[in-house]
Amino acid sequence: MDNLIKKGYDYAREAYGKWGVDTDAVITKLAEVTLSLHCWQGDDVTGFEEGGAAAGGGTLVTGAYPGKARNPQELRDDLELAMSLIPGEQKVSLHSNYAETGGKKVGRDELEPAHFANWASWAKEKKIGLDFNPTFFDHPMLKDGFSLSSADPAVRKYWIGHGIACRRIGDYFGKTLGADCVTNFWMPDGYKDVPVDRAAPRERMRESLDAIFREPFEHNIDAVESKLFGIGFESYTVVSNEFCLGYASAAGKLLTLDAGHFHPTEVISDKISAVMGFVPGILLHISRPVRWDSDHVVTFDDELRAIMQEIVRNGYADRVFLGLDYFDASINRIAAWAIGSRNAMRAMLYAMLEPVDILKKAELDGDLTARLALLEEFKTYPFGLVWDYFCLTEGVPVREGWLGAVREYEKRVLASRA
């Protein structure tokens, strides 16, 4: 089988080489692409918080596939298997409600690096970085649907404390692991029905974020994320796309673009070049919305390819952070990680194999015939043979070979979980 893969790669290398695409160089570059895996796929966004949680915040996970992680160690074990099936470099993105507090109830505004020491030790052993997310949902202090934009000063103070604590933890991750931590701020604040005063909550949100971001941290990178609506927040969200774009631009923060956080006819691939001239960089939450922000497992679809093409065609790789964000409990959760992650990397390879300079020249010269013809022909160029070879060189299963490892783990480990 290995010889067949190598022969296929030789053919692909020659085919792409005709257009000046060095597949060896592409593979070397692809191996350095870092993809941040979202921990919450492994346990349905439950977390391991000791007391104090209450449902709410616009999130919903559907499905009841057996074997979800019940504690941090099980989640880390599951992540290890998933990462062994994915080529390239990985980080893991944590939410703050995945803290390990030794059975003690700790307020989110009281979280410290020590509560994530096990995660940091594990990441150091695996030679990966960690990203972070404050958890502004599923908590009693999300009062009437508001956190940082609440009219109650006590509520705002609590969540400001949480935001500061999370940035400090992010800095600890970055310093300890030698890879800067991206700490992403998403707040679900809003109304179910149409409000009278849209401005006041946004002003309070801006002031709260200013307070959180006041102290600089060397190894932590801040990002702000918008949302169109949430369950229970259908008519108005404080942190809209316009709010985030304005804030990120003014404050010098990363802008997070989530594939599911816009109107059904909008795509984030079209937004990347539009915002990159005004913000220091972007964090992509790669997901697959189906009619709404349903966070389906990422597939190798047109939008995923377009996202990666925008990054590669415009040379944005050093200013774009790639992360996954979906939660599917209807299928094996480890398989969901593997499918989505492998597709994200596959799409990046697809984009890297384009003869970008030739396509841009045709467009600039007004040769739109050549542009369309070449774009269509390259859709069936043998990039799959390059992908197989890349997986082989990375020491991960080729094609559907990874599914066997997941099935064996399911029988050996997941089946025993109540």
Distance (Å, rounded) from C-alpha 235 to C-alpha 214? 31
Q: Which two tokens stand for residue 161?
A: 């404390």
Active site residues: 186, 225, 227, 258, 261, 285, 293, 295, 325
E strand residue ranges, 272-352: 282-286, 320-324
How far CA 175 is from CA of 93, 99, 251, in Å, comes to 16, 18, 23
Measured in whole angstroms, the distance separating CA 179 from the mean position of its chain's CA atoms is 16
Q: Provide the 8-state DSSP code for 36.
A: E
Q: Which of 333, 267, 343 is nearest to 299 (CA)?
A: 343
Residues 234 and 246: their CA atoms lie apart, in Å, by 22
Query: Which residue, 85, 127, 106, is CA-closest to 343?
Result: 85
CB count, 10 Å around CB of 364?
9
User: What's the CA gap between 193 and 237, in Å, rounded?
Assistant: 10
| Alpha-carbon gap, residue 269 to 306, rounded angstroms | 6
Q: Angle, to 10 degrees, between the axis of helix 199-212 and the axis of helix 241-251?
A: 40
The total of other beta-carbon atoms located within 10 Å of residue 234's CB is: 15
Burial class (CB in 10 A: 0-12, 13-18, 19+), 258: buried
User: In the chain, what's the furthest Cα-to-Cα distance?
Assistant: 68
No. of helices (H) and no. of strands (E), the chain: 14, 10
Contact criterion met (CB below 8 Å) for 118 and 172: no
